[in-house]
Amino acid sequence: MSDDTQQTNFKLIADDEWRQRLSPEEYYVLRQAGTEPPGTGEYEHTTTEGVYSCRACGAEIFRSTEKFASNCGWPSFHSPAGNDAVIERRDTSHGMVRVEVLCANCESHLGHVFEGEGYPTPTDLRYCINSLSMKLEPAQAEN
């Protein structure tokens, strides 16, 4: 986590500052709970080892070791980077009942989590996450 991430209380940032920090597409997903179109995200098929951080604040949210190919149109993970990396809350928007996933550090929208879909993962969960909500920091190669 960068020094900026540790020193800034991202939960207090005003909406106009978020608009300055983020591109219009990032703002739509992260601050307005939007969804990027399926199959368009840069990380959907990525197999690069590394850490996925929140694009809004830089906090670590997922790791490549928990990523799996669900072929659902968005990057999928079976668990977050740690017990306190994300917040899950009930989402009843669009006439559905789902569980929204937010960054615990800045409360930006990341995507949704689904349970019981039968994927062969250790948790039986699929964190369906927008690529626009993350940045991948590739693992450093060992010498």
Which residues are designated catalytic? 128
- Taking Cα atoms as reference points, which of 78, 80, 82, 84 lies closest to residue 124? 78
- CA atoms within 13 Å, Cβ hemisphere of 78: 15
CA nearest to 132, candidates 22, 14, 20: 22
Q: Parallel, antiparallel, or unpaired for β 125-129 and 76-77? A: antiparallel
CA distance 108 to 3: 19
Coil, helix or strand for 113? strand
What CA–CA distance (Å, rounded) separates 6 from 25? 25
